[in-house]
Structure 1
């Protein structure tokens, strides 16, 4: 059977998690590959995310003029299910929820030869390098790094596209991770205590049940139910600014 031109070229998979950076990475990737390669914008849906993520994803799909493929774990219902069943929150190798709800879902979906696109920004070259080292068998493209685009550029590009930033950004968080991210600092968790007290209380109880704590105060591990309300640094204010590189990158899809 003869392959079509699209089938003969590697599939391009953009990993979209409702953050500003991977939304811009998806837009740039479509400008580069649409009509040449099969392009899939894949979202690992996790129910611990803010419900506004669905609105943001729908707005982005309209901007992309391309559908977003939703993927889910077939083993776990959400991050709470992962933590409660595995009794593992986070460690030197990372968060167990990320492994089960993102990495394994990605591995089930990927095909040999895929080009994987991720929204690493210009500030995250070390993260991209580490991903390549740990996943040497995969082909990674990082269009934001290639274009010199930082996080402030990406936030500005989303606003300039007429898309309202996600709720977590608007609440003052500097990322769009799940509500109650186990990789968060003491300052982050003190903000969660104020904004999402039910999540804070549930995690505090889970820490005690498992016998493991997320945060450090100084060099000491500290359970959330003992976390001083003034511990940690406040979440930094979002920097939203379109640099010259941002304006140049926009020309690729306008």
Structure 2
């Protein structure tokens, strides 16, 4: 939606898609549908040093995720923005009104960036954007159809117990592979909680130790279109 609104405003953007092999294969179908909708070609790029694979990043760097984020994001996406971007570029990013703090954190980390937060300026939420894409006749990516809140890789290391137990059901082989990587690196993604005598305790567990009844994962709510959504649709 950020790209479509930018084009509608007269901007002629250069559009990149950072390929990551662990993403759902339906993403390419979605990319082509959007490409037709934009009337602009999308350039597919990737970090060949890591075979465009998050798993290769994990194994080569011996790192999964930490307080500063996931290593795969830094290696497979952020580094490509630095490689293909120019210092005076204006970045059109799809942060929505409910993600405004992410823009703040990004600018804190990279204060020289020039960003056009077009969705935030137009007061569009994620739910607005999902609805607008569907109303344009484009089927949402498969991960949304399966009830995931984000179209991340299949088995995102930023997820926790409820998310990983859903992955265990929907993508059992992917769950097993990530459990294997955890053991190889001796790293644990998930935390579990329990209480004794009124005290709360947390500890990390390997995926192959994760009880299948721990955690909860609420699916993406059905999308709605409000007044700001309707105003933005009028622009395109």
- The two structures have a TM-score, normalised by structure 2, of 0.94
Work out the CA distance in 2 between the residues paired with 1:221 and 1:115: 40
1:239 is displaced (CA, Å) by 2.7
CA distance in 2 between partners of 1:172 and 1:85 (Å): 31
Q: 2:92 aligns with which of 111, 117, 125?
A: 117
1:33 and 2:10 aligned: yes
2:126 corresponds in structure 1 to 151
Among 48, 58, 71, the alignment partner of 2:22 is: 48
Deviation at 1:69, TM superposition (A): 1.2
Secondary structure of 2:8's match?
helix
Mind listing any 5+ residue stretches in structure 1 that lack a counterpart?
Answer: 1-23
Which of 45, 58, 71 matches 2:32?
58
Instruction: Show structure 2 runs of 5+ residues with no match.
Output: 194-201
C-alpha separation in 2, matches of 1:25 and 1:85: 34
The answer to whether residue 217 in structure 2 is matched with residue 242 in structure 1 is no
User: How much does 1:33 deviate?
Assistant: 3.3
Is the Cα contact below 8 Å between 1:79 and 1:97 reproduced in 2? yes
State the partner residue of 2:203. Answer: 220
CA distance in structure 1 between the aligned counterparts of 2:62 and 2:160, rounded to whole angstroms: 20
Q: Determine if the alignment matches structure 1 residue 137 to structure 2 residue 112.
A: yes
Deviation at 1:137, TM superposition (A): 1.0
Cα distance in 2 between the residues matched to 1:186 and 1:196 = 15
Kept in 1, the 8 Å contact 2:144–2:220? The answer is no
